[in-house]
Structure 1
Amino acid sequence: MKIQKKLTSCSRLMLLYLSLESLLEAGAGNIHYSVPEETDKGSVVGNIAKDLGLQPQELADRGVRIVSRGRMPLFALNPRSGSLITAGRIDREELCAQSVPCLVSFNILVEDKMKLFPVEVEIIDINDNTPQFQLEELEFKMNEITTPGTRIPLPFGQDLDVGMNSLQSYQLSSNPHFSLDVPQGTDGPQHPEMVLQSPLDREEEAVHHLILTASDGGDPVRSGTLRICIQVVDANDNPPAFTQAEYHMNVPENVPVGTQLLMVNATDPDEGANGEVTYSFHNVDHRMAQIFHLDSYAGKISNKEPLDFEEYKIYSMEVQAQDGAGLMARAKVLIKVLDVNDNAPEVTITSVTTAVPENFPPGTIIALISVLDQDSGDNGYTTCFIPGNLPFKLEKLVDNYYRLVTERTLDRELISGYNITVTATDQGTPALSTETHISLLVTDINDNSPVFHQDSYSAYITENNPRGASVFSVKAHDSDSNENAQITYSLIEDTIQGAPLSSYVSISSDTGVLYALRSFDYEQFRDLQLKVMAQDSGDPPLSSNVSLSLFVLDQNDNAPEI
């Protein structure tokens, strides 16, 4: 009846467990939220407990936590409300630059089941950046014989916001000689151009001052300005001309700093200063200006900093050639960075069990492992494995997560512990790999009974022995450990000639030494048949018995009778 009640209780627990697991499985799809940038720390993003099908108090009980890589965590869990909240101020521009949408991805780990649930939070842009130009003032020269209709490209403004909060329009201050045209670029951004409307006369006006204003579409509108100074010079009838309209170069990312990557070349048939060409970057953002150096006289482009494929795959820039009188020409430069296998896989042990009982079934989860490689293509494709001679295997989960599980039942008596080497390797040439080690202790279960050294024992004692004399000793061994291997010895009670066995002999429970409690008489009986029991201290205890025959030896202690 007790066994039946226990089975009924276990069945109820199993049904509750399966019900909870089904709720989690039902919510296993991606969870999506959105939150505006610059929101205060602790702001509610979404009810993660509800979306996981859990009550708030279950988050801590089931080990629910956020698992993210690389950057500091942007979100946290509120265990009282079950909500996902912001962990601090979030700057969308710092996080995603110009990428739309700006998504932060991470996983929610339900640790008691080792299950991962992908979460995406979209960071909504607010108008917190003002359009800016890289220069505060632009100065250039223009020949007085420049024909009306000539278009002069102007630096474009940059606004780190996106959508309507980004840069939307340009305006040029009023001038009878110049107007503004803003054609849409083929790659998306607007490129302002100043158009010469009427001929210039240096003798009438040698310098023109204008202001270019860049405005965004936010509410309220934000704007930035660029001062333009145009010096009118005497006639120079030949502008510089590049030998190519576009320059292309493929460069491995591990090229040393200071390497000449390519050289642009422009010629000008004019003489003297009008034919002297100097080079400069045009419309290059601040980051590219930090990375590359352009020799203004030779046209050589070199790198001032290491290139990183993981940061930029293609650098696109414009080079401007200008002669001494101010005529200009432009060429496009495209530098493609080739990936080099310079990042070894990163192996992270997200969760690990350090000890496991030897009777746990196959499939027991030991650890949750994450693998990440910053490279791309084959250089970033990783495989994860462990030595094949171990009773474990790796199971691949989502998003390059693996779990380490037992492949068969462990036996502490054979191996009491494992040092498992987990290796992640990429497919680059040469391949890079990373090793991490997991130490696992196999704990003992009382699954071995004590074993005597012999199947049976025979002992001899001479009659008329003194009381308390040591007669014999037995020894048993238990393969378990600690209390499961602590053995106590006892005699199985019996009756000899109407008297209990314990009145004849005793045994030490610790050592197994047998003692005589009386002086034996060969003429009364010649042998004793005993059973010795060895029992360990496990829970429940295990035991074994062995037979012991004690023979009494005769002494010449009786005179002949006539």
Structure 2
Amino acid sequence: IFAYNMMPHRSKRALLVPPMFVPENQRAPFPRLIGKVISSDMKEDHIFCLMGRGADQDPKGVFSINRLTGDVAVSRALDREAIAYYHLQVSTTDLSGRLVEGPVDLDVSVIDQNDNRPVFKEPRYSGEVLEGSPTGTTVMTMTAYDADDPNTDNAVLRYIIVRQLPDKPSPNMFYIDPERGDIVTVIAPHQLDRETLPTTQYELEIVAKDMAGSEVGLTGTATATITITDRNDHAPEFTHSLFQASVNEGSTGVVVNLTVDDRDDPATGAWRAIYSIINGDPNQNFEIQTNLDNNEGMLSVVKPLDYESSMFHTLLIKVENEDPLVPDVVYGPSSTATVYITVMDVNEGPVFFPDPLVVIRRENIPVGSFVAMLNASDPDYLQTQSIRLVKDPADWLIVNPFKGNVTTRAILDRESPHVHNNQYTALFMATDNGSPPASGTGMLIITLEDENDNAPYVFPSVARVCEDAKDMNVVVIGGRDKDIHPNTDPFKIELGKQPGLEKTWKISRINDTHSQIMLLHSLKKANYNLPLVLTDSGVPPISNNTELKVQVCTCKKNRMDCSRAGSIQTNHLLLLGLVLLSILCKYPFIPPSTTLTCMLNPSYQNAGNSR
């Protein structure tokens, strides 16, 4: 196998360099002769030189050449999987180092030995196959590799299954293609049934052997785990054809849990149930949802049931899976169930209708007048009820406990602080004679119509003016009324009927609610009470005789002094002044030019004549 029998390559100067071959993994002794380089022009002063990787380059010293004979030798064992090919160069030089021949290529090939076992990419492989799959269905592919020369049988692999666990129902449920490594099913589709197999996972021990599977080949091992996955080939079935439950009327919530069996894989769409009510619930009082933990159907009341309307309910329930069934499986009679629900009677409170009850009444109607008729009906038709007042803020009303008619016990006043937005609200309670008694509340809203029962009043009630004012406009006053239209404005504002007022005072209308008070001549500093008459527009109208206090003050440098003339600061002098003032006010001979104001006994005439 060495180079002596090979045809040499001829160089330009007749340097003969044959290709050389070295088996890997040779044993000592070393060095071993692997070939010879021949020079046709070799002289005594010529020497051979070897260069390149494996000679004077890393890995250095693997190969050497006899400087005089041209014999090439290997110095140690080679590993083809490390370096499969060495490219060297040979030349000859004289003793001075001058190149004589070459360089010429020297190729050394490492001959492979079967020294590497097949190795799988993974120690464990996982695959899945759907139950009922046809025979020959590919499950997965096993792949191993061999580091030996792929052009030799050393790297030609063959795959076999050496063990299957468990080995039921057949030890040969699967087959592996010896060349490609494809694992396919061998078992018949009807036997590949997840629900009847002893397990849903099978373990295969796979061996890859080189040398094309011959007895002398090296082997590698891996494990393949095959999971039999579920398909929806079993319809869910109720554990009972009839379920029963009872529920109190008026209550909501879960009343019964419906149980089903399904042989498919839990926590998959082939197992998860979907429930539906297909009959017996025209008013949609019920709802059914799936309990995700145990797949039960939770039947609930979502709209309260009424015992008096129906004491029994019969529902027809259907169950299906999230995933569709396989074509050869259908939902059977066991996929439906009947639910009998008994409604238990509960003493229900009376109900007012309408609630609230709104009526319109005029204020000031006589005591004992009819206001409204309350209607409280009891869903439990055998019960009787009585009605009482529970909230009557102004204590205006009386109710007949058995007939429900509401009358007045006091005058209704729209202007009362208990009336808001013209409405008075009372609360009533009806109680039945059940055991225990039940009650219900209802509201009565009385909208009060206005009557002209309030006189208007003036605002503001006090005005100030300078005694030497050039502008004789005293104040703009307005009228107010607790009543509402049409019993309020437009207001008529007039001077009182006392004689002489029109000589000093004048009123000019501004609009429906306001008028201007003016002085016709200046007044001395004093307090004056101006009598006024305010009249509203009700039918019939109401008038109010009132007063406007006018303070005539001293004004200097934009400051107004409205203190009384002759005011004494000490308590004793103040008491003496009050006594004198009382005496002076009793006698008419006091000249009109006096500046005192008779506050203890105000005189309308003073307001008209003091100058």
The interval holding the TM-score normalised by the smaller chain is 0.3 to 0.5
